[in-house]
Amino acid sequence: MSEKLKIVVVGTGAWGNAIAKLLYKKFQLQENRIFLLARSKDRLQNIIKKIGHDTGFCSILTADNRILEDADAVILAIPTIYLKHTADKLRHLIADKPILNTSKGIEKGFYFAHDILAESIAMPFERFCQLSGPNFAQEVSIFLPTASVVASKNERLAIFFQEILSCESFRVYRSGDPLGLELAGALKNIYAIASGVSDGLQLGNNSRAAILTRALAEIRRIGNLFNVKQETLLGLSGVGDLFLTSTSRLSRNYRVGLALAKEEQIDLGEAIAEGVWSVKSLVIFAESHDLYIPIAKTVYQLIYEGEKPYEAAMNLMHRPLKREDS
């Protein structure tokens, strides 16, 4: 990319830091400038205490929102539960900017990120772009080979972010199905919790394989309701992300499942594992649309209704017999 850009990454969590580091390495010998925006001065000071003023992964680390004023591209790396607050606060600075969202979750009312941005900054769906794929921030930040997908109804916008992000360690594909990416990215967090419960109970490899395969059936069932592309659900942002998140301790959602298997209390006031929040929205939505999602509903019961993990697993095994394709 020959054009010189000012790129602002909003959010200094693991994912925001990883993306900033990736871009800084790619563009550090060019005139492109990579800025990392913290949500508050307190957050900024905490980061500086940990790593010092010389970050080594961005041009400038700041908490001054004015850095967005002349940005050429904005990358939102904010957990979905905080996205509305952030978008409302930055509305006048980002409303006319190319925006890439990177969070994966469903908010109350079955709101996706594009719904939140449409409400907060009047962003039309055609200006929305989503990043998703089997991507652990920890591995991206040390430049291990990774593949991901950017999706937008606007092909030029998808190409724009594809070219910005693609580098020797981060291969980016593009898609015209942003809702499919959002849906798959949010739902896989729920099923990663189920997989963690299975592994925490030491139910074996067969059990995990069954859970992930039937989880995909539930995801496709939900996807049909939204008319998303089956290729999306079977691609990097669907199956790829589901398998990654559901099989590694690097996944916060998988670790929530391990904790539930031990009947440990999940602190709902602090949980950033987005499956914890998304499952509540999903179950409410499913009940109003007559959707059959037994695994997701079991995750909900474990988190919010105090269901015992082994009993929950056995209840799934003892459901009425049915055709696999139904």
Residues serving a catalytic function are: 188
DSSP letters of 95-137? TTS-EEE-----BTTTB-HHHHHHHHH---GGGEEEEESS--H
- Residues 169 and 172: their CA atoms lie apart, in Å, by 10
The alpha carbons of the chain give a radius of gyration, in whole angstroms, of 20
Residue 8 contacts residue 71 (beta carbons within 8 Å): yes
- Residues 177 and 159: their CA atoms lie apart, in Å, by 14
Identify the CA nearest to 134 among candidates 273, 238, 5. 238
Q: By CB neighbour count within 10 A (0-12 exposed, 13-18 middle, 19+ buried), where does 110 fall? A: middle
